[in-house]
Amino acid sequence: MDLKELLWEDREKGIFRIRRTAITSQEIFELEREKIFNKCWLYAFHSSEVEKPGDYITRKVAEKPLLIVRGSDSEVRVFYNTCTHRGAAICREKSGNASTFNCFYHGWCFRHDGSLVSVPDPDGYASTHDRQKLNLKRVPHVDNYRGLYFVNFSENPPNLDSYLSKVKEPLDLVFDQVEGDFKIIPGSNEYYIRANWKLLPENSLDVYHYNILHRSFVDYQVKLGIDRQKFSRLHNSLASDLGNGHAVKEDESGFGRPIAHWSPLFGEEAKDEIAQIKQELVKKYGRERAWKMTELVRNTMIFPNLIILDNVAINIRQCWPVAPNKMRVLMWHLVPKDEEGKALKRRLNSFLTFFGVGGFGSPDDAEALESSQIGCETLPDDWLDMSRGMHRTPFGRDELPARTFWRQWYYLMTRE
């Protein structure tokens, strides 16, 4: 296959197309592992998931099983979750707190820092059998930005700071919303969509479909008493290419937001509290920055597969390729660490109403992506069109975020 034939961009004619094979091919699926997932910084976890010494989580990142532990020295270490004896998983729980990790196969025991502390029948080994060399293996590059931890499996990656670069600004607009820290609500939404993983990042910043595909949500909001006009404000949206394949889409859609907009969903008693939160942000950050934080809802895509949704609540969404026609989706709920009671309930409900697996939004999107996948498999040599806005300075409803994603994908896939 000639990879160069997968993208067709003609700026003069205003055309941007992707060959459907990019969505369906097994060969491309395998190449992506090497050229994208073994090269890019990949989101792995949030610091609050391993808050105290001994806290650990296990998680697959790019299909590699990892063990993430906060040591007694408070350092967070990321190991491959595989025993140095015969390869079994060191830890088989999803999360917990432990002083040591005992391999379930033959009982080798490791400390938080990965050192091998004991083996059964130590006399069974010669003195030249060096235990120091049998410590758990660490992932080569781990770094974080404001508590979002990323890993990189390549030999010589750029540093995380320069990889994220301009995408740090929309992240700051999220993390500055509260005085203290954020935390992840334990557990995640995890589900599979029978579609290629690349369809989700582009869908997540696609305003084009919103009022059409999610019509039942818009109608529901109108029924609750929200002015239908608010949804047409989506047309005032802005989208920006932030470099390295990252993009952000912002608009004044005026949905219920726990820091700025009361919605009938939240109940009468929340009105004053929400107004107060907004006031405080204006006081702290000034009118302009507070306007961005509170009035704009924002979906941020961090290439290749992380999406931060800062709208009806704050969600971290990630998709992993499982097969050319199957992705695994994970969603975590990010909340202010000290928020509790009714305020927290408001956020959780707001999240579930749209993004929950049985919510108004996520099932619509899953159905559309699965339908696209079938279409791509039917005519794999045809094109997908993403030309909207090519001939003008694009609006947020144009297909600029999708083009941003695909240009970076194409660059990484075709470079030597």
Q: Which residues bind to Fe ion, rule: CB under 5 A? A: 365
Residue pair 315/185 in contact (Cβ under 8 Å)? The answer is no
Question: Which of 289, 254, 258 lies closest to 170 in space, CA to CA?
Answer: 289
Phi (first) and psi of residue 357, to 5 degrees: -65, -25
The entry of Fe ion, ligand FES, none that residue 137 binds, CB within 5 to 8 Å by partner kind? none
Question: What residues contact 304, with CB distance under 8 A and at least 6 apart?
Answer: 36, 37, 40, 42, 201, 245, 408, 409
Which of 76/109 has CB closer to ligand FES? 109
Q: Which is nearer to ligand FES, 110 or 303 (CB)?
A: 110
Minimum distance from CB of 80 to ligand FES (Å)?
A: 13
131: buried, middle or exposed (CB in 10 Å: 19+, 13-18, 0-12)?
middle
Residue 109 Cβ vs ligand FES, minimum distance, rounded to whole Å: 9
Nearer to ligand FES by C-beta: 14 or 87?
Answer: 87
Q: Which residues are at the interface with ligand FES (CB under 6 A)?
A: 83, 85-88, 103, 105-108
Pairing outcome for strands 297-302 and 306-310: antiparallel
Query: Minimum distance from CB of 82 to ligand FES (Å)?
Result: 8
Which has the closest alpha carbon to 244: 345, 311, 167, 329? 167
- Contacted entry of Fe ion, ligand FES, none for residue 106, CB cut-off 5 to 8 Å set by kind: ligand FES
Our CA angle for 251, 253, 254, nearest 5°, is: 125
Query: Which of ligand FES, Fe ion, none does residue 286 bind to, with CB < 5 to 8 Å depending on kind?
Result: none
> Least distance to Fe ion from the beta carbon of 368, Å?
8
Joined tokens for residue 118: 């004991």
Beta carbon nearer to ligand FES, 13 or 92: 92
Quote the CA–CA distance of 139 and 77 in Å, as a whole number: 8
User: What is the total residue count of the chain?
Assistant: 416
365 binds, among Fe ion, ligand FES, none (CB under 5 to 8 A by kind): Fe ion
For the beta carbon of residue 271, count every other beta carbon within 10 angstroms.
12
Contact partner at residue 83 from Fe ion, ligand FES, none, CB < 5 to 8 Å by partner kind? ligand FES
Between 8 and 105, CB nearer to ligand FES: 105
Question: Which of Fe ion, ligand FES, none binds 31 (CB below 5-8 Å, type-dependent)?
Answer: none
> First-to-last CA distance in the chain?
15
* 283: amino acid identity, one letter: K
Smallest gap from Cβ 78 to ligand FES, in A, equals 19
User: Which C-beta is closer to ligand FES: that of 86 or that of 209?
Assistant: 86
By a kind-dependent CB cut-off of 5 to 8 A, residue 85 interacts, out of Fe ion, ligand FES, none, with: ligand FES
Name the residue nearer to ligand FES (CB basis): 83 or 148. 83
Q: Cβ of residue 222: shortest distance to Fe ion, in angstroms?
A: 18
Q: What's the rounded Cα separation, in Å, for the pair 189 and 212?
A: 25
Is cis: bond before 157, omega within 30 of 0? Answer: no
Look at residue 88 and give the partner it binds from Fe ion, ligand FES, none, a contact being a CB closer than 5 to 8 Å depending on partner kind: ligand FES
Quote the CA–CA distance of 48 and 182 in Å, as a whole number.
7
Comparison of 108 and 410: residue with beta carbon closer to ligand FES: 108
H helical segments located in 119-236 = 160-164, 168-175, 199-204, 210-213, 215-224, 229-232
Shortest distance, position 117 Cβ to ligand FES, whole Å: 12
β pairing state of 141-145 and 116-118: unpaired
Nearest distance from C-beta of residue 106 to ligand FES, angstroms: 3
